[in-house]
Amino acid sequence: MAIREIRKFPDPILLRKCRVVRRIDDDIRKLATDMVETLIDADGVGLAANQVGILKRVIAIHLPEEDPYWLVNPQIIRTEGNREVEEGCLSLPGYVGLVNRSVSVTARALDQNGSKWRITAEEILAQALEHEVDHLNGIMFMDHLLEHERLREVGEEPEQGETHLHDVNYNIQAHHHEGDDDNPELLVAKAKLSEVTPQHSMSELAYDLQEPKEQDPRGETTAK
Ligand code: NI
């Protein structure tokens, strides 16, 4: 097993859709066990494969006090209810925001033996499953923010009457192509988080990133 680098927002790979896994082979098992180790090392609850730069539908889950596990091709097949929860993401360290998540989530997947796995979950597992399946579809939790003002730095109490969040300067390593892990380009990015509204998709945000040509990174890079 090995710890892999967790890609940070606004790495474009986080806006890409992951592909269905046709066969659980040694490559998938290696990826998945690395993801579990990476997740434990980062002290997170969930991790999706595009967060480690691989566009495959694999997620790792580690609930507090439970053994970690991984799943292949997870799908949410039913949701019930609505609740507001505070959420963060390993790809946007240091920030949390209030999002709407389901009270109960029924999901199916393949487990590490390739057997059918199905669960109806609540609380943190329901939230994690929705968050990770979103990742596999190129969606980050900021897409669900109830109000952009509510994204705040960890440890900073929300202020009464606060109306504006400062944009975030990020020093990131950009990987423009799958597999070019050896030569990441160092960029200073400005993520205009203050432009996020519930109607917004992250893909519409203006990144100060040297992304080549087009205006719609999601449209261009989405793997069909
Ligand atoms: Ni995440």
Residue 1 resides in a domain: no
**Burial zone of 52 (CB within 10 Å; 0-12 exposed, 13-18 middle, 19+ buried):** buried
Final residue in a domain of this structure, among 97, 129, 153:
153
Indicate whether 28 and 57 sit together in one domain.
Answer: yes
* Residues in CB range of 20: below 8 A, 6 or more apart: 57, 73
Q: Encode pLDDT of 146-164 as tens digits.
A: 755 567 777 766 555 443 3
Indicate whether 70 and 178 sit together in one domain.
Answer: no
Final residue in a domain of this structure, among 118, 153, 188:
153
Question: Pick from 1, 35, 39, 41: which is nearest to 18 by CA?
Answer: 35
Indicate whether 81 and 179 sit together in one domain.
Answer: no
Q: Encode pLDDT of 178-206 as tens digits.
A: 555 555 554 444 455 555 444 444 444 44
Indicate whether 201 and 149 sit together in one domain.
Answer: no
Residue 88 resides in a domain: yes
Task: Output the CA 127–ligand 1 centroid distance in Å.
Answer: 11
User: Using DSSP, how many helices (H) and how many strands (E) does the chain show?
Assistant: 3, 10
Residue 47 per-residue DSSP state: E
Residue 158 resides in a domain: no
Indicate whether 136 and 80 sit together in one domain.
Answer: yes
Q: Encode pLDDT of 70-113 as tens digits.
A: 999 999 999 999 999 989 999 999 888 888 899 999 999 999 99
- The pLDDT confidence band at residue 177, using thresholds 50, 70 and 90, is low
Task: Output the CA 140–ligand 1 centroid distance in Å.
Answer: 7
CATH code (residue 138) = 3.90.45.10
Task: Output the CA 59–ligand 1 centroid distance in Å.
Answer: 10
Indicate whether 206 and 148 sit together in one domain.
Answer: no
Indicate whether 199 and 94 sit together in one domain.
Answer: no
Final residue in a domain of this structure, among 97, 125, 153:
153
Residue 118 resides in a domain: yes
Task: Output the CA 211–ligand 1 centroid distance in Å.
Answer: 22
Q: Encode pLDDT of 23-41 as tens digits.
A: 999 999 999 999 999 999 9
The parent domain of residue 193 ranges over 168-223
Residue 161 resides in a domain: no
Task: Output the CA 160–ligand 1 centroid distance in Å.
Answer: 28
Provide the domain count of the chain.
Answer: 2
Residue 30 resides in a domain: yes
Tell me: pLDDT of 45 over 90: yes
Indicate whether 109 and 146 sit together in one domain.
Answer: yes
Indicate whether 185 and 86 sit together in one domain.
Answer: no
Residue 163 resides in a domain: no
Does the pTM exceed 0.75?
no
Indicate whether 124 and 30 sit together in one domain.
Answer: yes
Residue 162 resides in a domain: no
Helix locations, the chain, DSSP H: 26-42, 123-136, 217-221
Indicate whether 178 and 149 sit together in one domain.
Answer: no
Residues known to be catalytic:
132
Indicate whether 52 and 135 sit together in one domain.
Answer: yes
